[in-house]
Structure 1
């Protein structure tokens, strides 16, 4: 869940900010501007955002960055997370049009908070070693180098200022607890990471105090704020808007989380299995703590001891992978009751870092709760915001109060294969309402490829595989013959197949050892070996599970070697069109080298094909799949 951020230092103007009772100027739509021009009163028209076609436009009055007002402050929270017996203060910067200082203009706010603004830890030598047996106590990891705070600069970030200040908004940034010049301890999803942005929003709405220094008494007031706030950000920066929204804070009207981590359990575990985010093998929540902890060095010892070495070491249960109270407290799905901000979520279907389930599970729940929601999915990897015009319509409606009909737009926007990110296709919802679950059955031919079909009586029997993490999932899926995976494929498709939603696997299996990894991929074959092909082009979706958790996610149990167990789990959500002439394949294997722990090779898994089935969400349902197979 790592992000790169441009850190460009600029000088600040230090201002003595005084409260004012001046009225907020109303946004002008294009008709009002034209009428004012025809009447010869351009110079007298009220200053405010310019609206055209339901979107805030870049306006001459706001686009000169040399005239923007920039300043920083510290907002006082209502918690003390670093144990110094003082309420933590969050470091905040503000960039706003000069009219807010000299002409009485009040503006809405686009707010971004991050743990990354002050830099992150160097090196990769402090990860957990994944070479261990399943279910065993992990070896002690090496604690890596501390974060070297990049500077004590007062400009936290310039991100998003060029998009929104010229359109008549203020842009606000803050460093999250225990990072940059903010007080507190990083907790990686703990309660203070929700309450910190809430405090900043409370300050923007006149309910919390801001000060010119981290320990001073000189107050700063947000007299220029309309008390309408929107939040956005990518990855961890996209998590924080959701965290703030779960507090139900008044004034937070809309959020646009991009590839947000909505559950740290789902980031570091999968159905009871210890499973790393893609690209960060061996990482766990305590590693992420060390990666971002750039705050006050005087409080490092307290934070390291209390948060990392006590709370995290006890709660993360790396030996079992079980879901527990520690993880439940860092799962925002459990905290949605108070969310009232409108939510536009964005994610990539090939994001194997913060996987696409993170946005889907929240979107689905908020949709059912009646919260205004839309979702934008693309076919690429980590990151990727919605087109600016979508975000603009969202903020223009919910922050400026313009009736542009955005709440009546399509619920789901999906960038189809080969299309540009700013040309998504509109759908009534996600998953596609026309998709229905279709069961496919397995017949064996191990160690070669078996068959995947609609025939309930297909083949059956039992087949074995031998675990060996030395082989990557990509190489196993391309192999014609291997004992290290089982592969079942459909005939060549006679027509394209549109998958939309959650595929699932119901499996009956036995292990030769008391614990084992279980991994499954759905792939499109043959493998595309063309020059411009991406590895993910052939990986439709993936899933992982711990057979020890076949009864309960919160309490695993050792397997009896040779005894069969039934379990079911979902793959990552997807929306993909599989082309005519391709084959859909189900690959079952044990250790997934780039994601799971890596035990000594040799564990045998036996799959009972008679009671194992793959369910695919197919647009057009059974009639469509029968035309294709």
Structure 2
């Protein structure tokens, strides 16, 4: 059962006289070290009278080659009262390419402006909720989008500098102007420079990238469904995840000005991201994981464990790198796909985010840093916690496949086995087809299962599957999936809402104005009954067996390659079975190779390194006395995953 969210309140706030308000404001912004400082910010400032202004910050770059430094548009909503009292406020910032082209959130909100060009509606609830509580909210248009100069370079230097320059400006290290082309300067005298970045998908990716620069003043980031390495958004060890590249994505969000000016940047995106899946300098520039040692900010990470848009390898490798460098961090993992926590756990999310920002940006000792590190959704709307993630007792167990009595139906255990299994790539089938037919031989897969478990078995972290395979053709792709075989009720992540249904009623989160409502449509969990659940996936081009550059295969020759499986946290219950499936093209999740290979697995040199709580001993205990027999019946699983989206900021 989930634990209730702890919420400590310092006091209950009531309307106060003007003098009392002034005194409260002064106390509100005093560092926590002061005796009697509050433990939670309260809505004591007027949202209706908040200052709304726009500034254009000099990025120091000339991405559109017009001979002038690019300026990015920064829309600001901040409380008016603190400045009048001589107090400075911290900043919550969302830097996005989507403010004009596509919108943000489940309701696709866009920025709107008045006749003077000042922002009227800021998407999402952040300004409505946090500005009355003493924060400024800043919405940055990435270079090449909306009202900003420059070009979109999809996670590259220009993207990251768009946001980093704003943090520098907030801390007095960069120049800002009151207009896009004018010379009148603007200074951020109203802020203390302490900034937290937040955002989903591309927005959260920018937060990761900016944190990886080590910029001073960035105190925390909250990346939601975010990319940590753009290569791993487009490819999995050479196997293409999409039939398009970053040039398509750039064109999707470009402003009309950028479209006309940025042909050379588009060309670089095409040339630097070949469809071969080879690693190039373009991907090195867009790999934030390699710079995790520079991160000064704390990280509150959120991801759907069934996100088939920004696949979960992105959060797993980022989390592991942050852990190696001792970064303060917290994590939420849901059963959803590419969904914001505001839409799968709204009340708890707003409460936790509020306390996180209070702690990280206002310095309040509210205990959020002493709560469990991880919240994990086990069943729809049922959450558990872990003091640390992965749990300290987690270690990798090496699981080995063995040939069964029938070809294509094998066993999974701790003992090295000999023998071979053969399958033929069928691009019309995918993981749901393989799992549904796990207990009978099919030509498109090799499947291996434990017997029914005698106790629960928990996977926590990232798995790796090493395969030795002999192809019959010059090209071949591989897929490996881990499957929980047994009946369950889960979120319908393959449905149109990726695990949520959107209703018509609304709830309100903060103050509203005529032009910016804080009220949003209620959502509920979309549930489905299944007979199996694919819990982790990985893919590879066998041609990348020796390096990050693909090579032509020699038919009849054996090759060994390791597939990185997506990070997850999943409990396989007592009575269920754990399965490993190795196959070719995973329909709708990777694109097929040029050939149609048949591959023969050498089982003695094939294994899965699976992070288990309790390690190999836990696996041995859970499988003791079990027999890998065929189940009496297997229910249908979830529908085949819908075609993977090509827009990392998709709002559903």
Question: TM-score under structure 1 normalisation?
Answer: 0.82
Corresponding residue number in structure 2 for 1:477: 435
Corresponding residue number in structure 2 for 1:224: 190
Q: Is the 8 A contact 1:469 1:601 kept in 2?
A: no
**Structure 1 residue 415: deviation in Å?**
1.7
Structure 1 gap segments, 5+ residues each: 1-28, 122-147, 277-281
Q: Is the 8 A contact 1:432 1:501 kept in 2?
A: no
Corresponding residue number in structure 2 for 1:17: none
User: What does 1:403-552 correspond to in 2, within 5 Å?
Assistant: 403-410=365-372, 412-418=373-379, 420=381, 423-428=383-388, 430-445=389-404, 447-457=407-417, 460-479=418-437, 480-526=440-486, 532-533=527-528, 538-552=533-547
Residue 245 in structure 1 maps to residue 211 in structure 2: yes
Q: Is the 8 A contact 1:519 1:592 kept in 2?
A: yes
Task: Give me the whole-angstrom Cα distance separating, in 2, the residues matched to 1:536 and 1:330.
Answer: 39
Q: Is the 8 A contact 2:436 2:532 kept in 1?
A: no
Matching residue within 301, 306, 320 for 1:350: 306
Per-residue CA deviations over 1:465-500 (Å, capped at 9, x if unaligned) read 111111232112212331111111111112111111
User: What does 1:360-375 correspond to in 2, within 5 Å?
Assistant: 360-375=316-331
Structure-2 change in CA distance of 1:546 and 1:534 (3 Å): farther
Corresponding residue number in structure 2 for 1:618: 612
Q: Is the 8 A contact 1:57 1:167 kept in 2?
A: yes
SS in 2 for 1:250: coil
Q: Is the 8 A contact 1:120 1:293 kept in 2?
A: no
Residue 289 in structure 1 maps to residue 274 in structure 2: no
Task: Give me the whole-angstrom Cα distance separating, in 2, the residues matched to 1:260 and 1:557.
Answer: 30
Residue 104 in structure 1 maps to residue 82 in structure 2: no
SS in 2 for 1:66: coil
Corresponding residue number in structure 2 for 1:138: none
Task: Give me the whole-angstrom Cα distance separating, in 1, the residues matched to 2:324 and 2:489.
Answer: 42
Structure-2 change in CA distance of 1:582 and 1:341 (3 Å): same
Q: Whose relative contact order is higher, 1 or 2, with alpha carbons under 8 Å and at least 6 apart?
A: 2
User: What does 1:355-394 correspond to in 2, within 5 Å?
Assistant: 355-385=311-341, 387-394=349-356
Structure-2 change in CA distance of 1:171 and 1:435 (3 Å): same
User: What does 1:189-338 correspond to in 2, within 5 Å?
Assistant: 189-276=155-242, 282-294=243-255, 297-303=256-262, 305-309=263-267, 311-318=268-275, 320-338=276-294
For this pair of structures, how many residues does the alignment match?
555
Task: Give me the whole-angstrom Cα distance separating, in 2, the residues matched to 1:270 and 1:402.
Answer: 42
Larger displacement relative to structure 2 (77-86 or 354-363): 354-363
Larger displacement relative to structure 2 (154-163 or 321-330): 154-163
Task: Give me the whole-angstrom Cα distance separating, in 1, the residues matched to 2:617 and 2:420.
Answer: 30
Q: Is the 8 A contact 1:195 1:247 kept in 2?
A: no
Per-residue CA deviations over 1:579-618 (Å, capped at 9, x if unaligned) read 1111111111111111222246742011111221222222
Structure-2 change in CA distance of 1:186 and 1:613 (3 Å): same
Q: Is the 8 A contact 1:468 1:601 kept in 2?
A: no
Residue 58 in structure 1 maps to residue 42 in structure 2: yes
Corresponding residue number in structure 2 for 1:401: 363
Per-residue CA deviations over 1:545-589 (Å, capped at 9, x if unaligned) read 111111112x22211101111122321111110111111111111
Matching residue within 137, 153, 161 for 2:127: 161
CA RMSD of aligned residues (A): 3.0
Task: Give me the whole-angstrom Cα distance separating, in 2, the residues matched to 1:95 and 1:40.
Answer: 23
Larger displacement relative to structure 2 (176-185 or 358-367): 358-367
**Structure 1 residue 120: deviation in Å?**
4.1
Q: Is the 8 A contact 1:54 1:396 kept in 2?
A: no
Structure-2 change in CA distance of 1:157 and 1:269 (3 Å): same
Residue 83 in structure 1 maps to residue 65 in structure 2: yes
Q: Is the 8 A contact 1:254 1:394 kept in 2?
A: no
Q: Is the 8 A contact 2:376 2:569 kept in 1?
A: no
Corresponding residue number in structure 1 for 2:20: 42
Q: Is the 8 A contact 2:408 2:422 kept in 1?
A: no
**Structure 1 residue 42: deviation in Å?**
2.8
Task: Give me the whole-angstrom Cα distance separating, in 1, the residues matched to 2:367 and 2:583.
Answer: 48
Per-residue CA deviations over 1:281-309 (Å, capped at 9, x if unaligned) read x2322221111112xx3442431x21112
Task: Give me the whole-angstrom Cα distance separating, in 2, the residues matched to 1:40 and 1:82.
Answer: 51
Larger displacement relative to structure 2 (598-607 or 324-333): 598-607
Task: Give me the whole-angstrom Cα distance separating, in 2, the residues matched to 1:84 and 1:600.
Answer: 42
Structure-2 change in CA distance of 1:449 and 1:537 (3 Å): closer
Task: Give me the whole-angstrom Cα distance separating, in 2, the residues matched to 1:95 and 1:467.
Answer: 55
**Structure 1 residue 510: deviation in Å?**
0.7
